[in-house]
Amino acid sequence: MGDGMDTDNNDEVWELRLYVAGQTQKSVAAFANLKKLCEEHLAGKYRIEVVDLLENPQLAKGDQILAIPTLVRKLPEPIKKIIGDLSNTERVMVGLDLRPV
C-alpha cells in the first residue's frame, strides 16, 4: 500500500489571496490559520498573496471584497471565497474544495 501521495499527480499551484485591513488580530489569525492549512495539505504547491486594503483599497473591487478578512482562491478555478479568520479548518477545507490528504 502506498501512502496515498502518489495518486495525485496534480502539480497545480494554488493561488490564494488574503484580503486584510491592517495588522488586526483577525487578519493575523487568518494568515496564520491559512499558512498552517496550506503547509499541511498543499506543501510546496501554494502561493499566498496578502493584500492590505488600507494600502491598496482599489484592489477590493477586482474580487468584490465586502468583508475583511476574505480569502480568495484564484487558482485552481473556479474562484472561491471564504470570509473570516479561517479558524474553522473544516469549513475552510470545504470552502476551498480542499481534499484531506
Range of the domain at 37: 13-96
Angle at which helices 25-41 and 89-96 pack, to 10 degrees? 70
Mean local confidence (pLDDT), 1-19: 67
> What are the grid coordinates assigned to 67, written together?
468583508
Q: How confident is the model at residue 50 (pLDDT cuts 50, 70, 90)?
A: very high
Question: Does pLDDT of 75 surpass 60?
Answer: yes
For residue 45, what is the domain's CATH number? 3.40.30.10
Asked whether residue 25 is assigned to any structural domain, the reply reads yes
**Residue 85 confidence (pLDDT):** 96
Asked whether residue 1 is assigned to any structural domain, the reply reads no
Domain count, the chain: 1
Q: What percent of the chain has pLDDT over 70?
A: 88
Asked whether residue 65 is assigned to any structural domain, the reply reads yes
**Residue 10 confidence (pLDDT):** 59
pLDDT in tens, 14-42: 999 999 999 999 999 999 999 999 999 99
Find, among 37, 39, 45, 47, the residue nearest to 96 by Cα. Answer: 37
Asked whether residue 6 is assigned to any structural domain, the reply reads no
DSSP 8-state secondary structure symbol assigned to residue 11 = -
Asked whether residue 32 is assigned to any structural domain, the reply reads yes
Question: Does pLDDT of 63 surpass 60?
Answer: yes
> What are the grid coordinates assigned to 77, written together?
478555478
**Residue 16 confidence (pLDDT):** 97
**Residue 101 confidence (pLDDT):** 55
**Residue 4 confidence (pLDDT):** 41
DSSP 8-state secondary structure symbol assigned to residue 25 = H
Asked whether residue 5 is assigned to any structural domain, the reply reads no
